[in-house]
Structure 1
Amino acid sequence: MTLELWAPNPTRVALRRPGRPDLPMQRDERDRWHADVELAPGDEYGFVVDNDHRALPDPRSLRQPLGVHEPSAAFDLGAHHWADADWTGRQLAGGIVYELHVGTYTPAGTLDSAIERLDHLVDLGIDFVELLPVNAFNGTHNWGYDGVLWYAVHEGYGGPAAYQRFVDACHARGLAVIQDVVYNHLGPSGNYLPRFGPYLRTTERNTWGDSVNLDEPEVRRYILDNAMMWLRDFHVDGLRLDAVHALRDRSERHILRELSEHADALSAHLGRPLTLIAESDLNDPTLIMPRESGGYGLTAQWSDDHHHAMHVALTGETAGYYADFAPLDALVKTTTRGFFHDGTYSSFRGRDHGRQVDAAVPTWRLVTFTQDHDQVGNRAAGDRLSPELGEARLAVAAVLNLTTPFTPMLFMGEEWGASTPWQFFTSHPEPELGRATAEGRIAEFARMGWDESLVPDPQDPETFRRSKLDWSEPADAGGAHGRLLDLHRRLLALRRARPELTDPAFEHTTAWADDALDRFRMDRGAPDAPERVVVLANLGATAWALELEGPVELLLATDPALVAGGAPDRMLELPPETAVILAVAHGS
Structure 2
Amino acid sequence: MKFEVWAPNATDVDLALGEQRIRLTAADQGWFGGDAEAVVGDRYGYVLHTDEGESNVLPDPRSLSQPDGPDERSAVIDLGEYDWQDDDFTAPPLRGGVVYELHIGTFTPGGTFAAAIDRLDYLAELGVTVVEVMPVAAFPGSRGWGYDGVCPYAVFEPYGGAAGLQRFVDACHQRGLAVCLDVVYNHLGPSGNYLPSYGPYFTDAYKTPWGSAVNLDGAGSDHVRRYFLDNALMWLRDFHIDALRLDAVHALMDSRALPFLEQLAAEVVMLANASGRELTLIAESDRNDPGTVSARNVGGLGMDAQWADDIHHALHVRLTGETSGYYGDFADPDALPKVLRTPFFHDGTYSTFRKRHHGRPVDPSTSPGWRFVASLQTHDQVGNRATGDRLAELVSVGRVAAGAAMLLSSPYTPMLFMGEEWGATTPWQYFTDHQDPELAEAVSKGRKAEFASHGWGSQVPDPQDEETFTRSKLDWSQPTGGDHARVLQWYRTLIALRQQIPDLSDSALGTIATAIDDDLIRIQRGAYRLVINLRSESVPIGLGPDEAVVAAFDAELDQSTAGSDKPVVNIEPDGTVLIGTTPS
- AA aligned opposite 1:2: K
> Partner of 2:149 in structure 1?
147
Range moving further from structure 2, 58-67 or 532-541: 532-541
2:374 equivalent to 1:368? yes
> Partner of 1:535 in structure 2?
530
CA displacement at 1:512 relative to structure 2: 2.0
Q: Render the CA deviation track for 1:361-394: whole Å, top value 9, x for unaligned.
A: 1110000000000000000000001112122221
Query: Is contact 2:139-2:146 (8 Å) kept?
Result: yes
2:459 equivalent to 1:494? no
2:575 equivalent to 1:578? yes
> Partner of 1:326 in structure 2?
331
> Partner of 2:553 in structure 1?
558
CA displacement at 1:572 relative to structure 2: 3.5
Q: 1:168 to 1:106 in 2, by over 3 A?
A: same
What is the alpha-carbon distance in structure 2 between the residues aligned to residue 72 and residue 370 of structure 1?
40
- AA aligned opposite 1:434: A
Q: 1:247 aligns with which of 230, 233, 252?
A: 252
What is the alpha-carbon distance in structure 2 between the residues aligned to residue 357 and residue 586 of structure 1?
33
Query: Is contact 1:551-1:585 (8 Å) kept?
Result: yes
> Partner of 2:197 in structure 1?
195
> Partner of 1:38 in structure 2?
37
CA displacement at 1:38 relative to structure 2: 2.3
Q: 1:94 to 1:286 in 2, by over 3 A?
A: same
- AA aligned opposite 2:135: P
Matches within 5 A, 1:76-475: 76-215=78-217, 216-360=221-365, 361-447=367-453, 449-475=454-480
2:544 equivalent to 1:549? yes
Query: Is contact 1:103-1:141 (8 Å) kept?
Result: yes
SS in 2 for 1:579: strand
SS in 1 for 2:28: coil
What is the alpha-carbon distance in structure 2 between the residues aligned to residue 571 and residue 563 of structure 1?
6
What is the alpha-carbon distance in structure 1 between the residues aligned to residue 198 and residue 354 of structure 2?
38
Q: So what's the TM-score if we normalise by structure 2?
A: 0.96
Range moving further from structure 2, 166-175 or 538-547: 538-547
Range moving further from structure 2, 183-192 or 396-405: 396-405
Query: Is contact 1:90-1:272 (8 Å) kept?
Result: no
SS in 1 for 2:449: helix
What is the alpha-carbon distance in structure 1 between the residues aligned to residue 205 and residue 343 of structure 2?
36
Number of residues of Structure 1 aligned to a counterpart in Structure 2 = 575
What is the alpha-carbon distance in structure 2 between the residues aligned to residue 399 and residue 355 of structure 1?
28
What is the alpha-carbon distance in structure 2 between the residues aligned to residue 512 and residue 329 of structure 1?
10
SS in 2 for 1:577: strand
Q: Render the CA deviation track for 1:294-347: whole Å, top value 9, x for unaligned.
A: 111111001100000000000000000001111342010001011100001111
What is the alpha-carbon distance in structure 2 between the residues aligned to residue 316 and residue 566 of structure 1?
36
Query: Is contact 2:317-2:331 (8 Å) kept?
Result: yes
Query: Is contact 1:535-1:582 (8 Å) kept?
Result: yes
> Partner of 2:63 in structure 1?
61
SS in 2 for 1:457: coil
SS in 1 for 2:196: helix
What is the alpha-carbon distance in structure 2 between the residues aligned to residue 203 and residue 251 of structure 1?
14
SS in 1 for 2:573: coil
What is the alpha-carbon distance in structure 1 between the residues aligned to residue 501 and residue 455 of structure 2?
43
What is the alpha-carbon distance in structure 2 between the residues aligned to residue 304 and residue 250 of structure 1?
26
What is the alpha-carbon distance in structure 1 between the residues aligned to residue 66 and residue 480 of structure 2?
37
What is the alpha-carbon distance in structure 2 between the residues aligned to residue 174 and residue 523 of structure 1?
32
Q: 1:10 to 1:567 in 2, by over 3 A?
A: farther
What is the alpha-carbon distance in structure 2 between the residues aligned to residue 203 and residue 503 of structure 1?
44
2:483 equivalent to 1:484? no
- Where in structure 1 are there 5+ consecutive unaligned residues? 526-531
Q: So what's the TM-score if we normalise by structure 1?
A: 0.95
SS in 2 for 1:508: coil
SS in 2 for 1:506: coil
Q: Render the CA deviation track for 1:100-142: whole Å, top value 9, x for unaligned.
A: 0000001110001000011110111010000000000011100
What is the alpha-carbon distance in structure 2 between the residues aligned to residue 567 and residue 124 of structure 1?
35
> Partner of 1:47 in structure 2?
46
- AA aligned opposite 2:38: L
What is the alpha-carbon distance in structure 2 between the residues aligned to residue 566 and residue 214 of structure 1?
66
Q: Cα RMSD (Å) of the superposition?
A: 1.6
SS in 2 for 1:465: helix
CA displacement at 1:533 relative to structure 2: 1.6
SS in 1 for 2:335: helix
Query: Is contact 1:88-1:271 (8 Å) kept?
Result: no
Query: Is contact 1:182-1:241 (8 Å) kept?
Result: yes
What is the alpha-carbon distance in structure 2 between the residues aligned to residue 243 and residue 586 of structure 1?
46
Q: Render the CA deviation track for 1:529-563: whole Å, top value 9, x for unaligned.
A: xxx12111111223334344340021100115349
SS in 1 for 2:166: helix
> Partner of 2:25 in structure 1?
26
What is the alpha-carbon distance in structure 2 between the residues aligned to residue 548 and residue 562 of structure 1?
10
CA displacement at 1:585 relative to structure 2: 5.9
What is the alpha-carbon distance in structure 2 between the residues aligned to residue 567 and residue 283 of structure 1?
50
> Partner of 1:529 in structure 2?
none
Query: Is contact 1:242-1:278 (8 Å) kept?
Result: yes
Query: Is contact 2:375-2:407 (8 Å) kept?
Result: yes
- AA aligned opposite 1:540: R
2:9 equivalent to 1:9? yes
Query: Is contact 1:369-1:410 (8 Å) kept?
Result: yes
CA displacement at 1:209 relative to structure 2: 1.9
CA displacement at 1:430 relative to structure 2: 1.3
What is the alpha-carbon distance in structure 1 between the residues aligned to residue 204 and residue 536 of structure 2?
55
CA displacement at 1:495 relative to structure 2: 0.6
SS in 1 for 2:154: strand
> Partner of 2:513 in structure 1?
510
Query: Is contact 2:558-2:567 (8 Å) kept?
Result: no
What is the alpha-carbon distance in structure 2 between the residues aligned to residue 106 and residue 572 of structure 1?
40
SS in 2 for 1:205: strand
- AA aligned opposite 1:312: V
What is the alpha-carbon distance in structure 1 between the residues aligned to residue 196 and residue 443 of structure 2?
22
Query: Is contact 2:186-2:214 (8 Å) kept?
Result: yes
SS in 2 for 1:511: strand
What is the alpha-carbon distance in structure 2 between the residues aligned to residue 451 and residue 279 of structure 1?
28
What is the alpha-carbon distance in structure 1 between the residues aligned to residue 281 and residue 28 of structure 2?
34
- AA aligned opposite 2:556: A
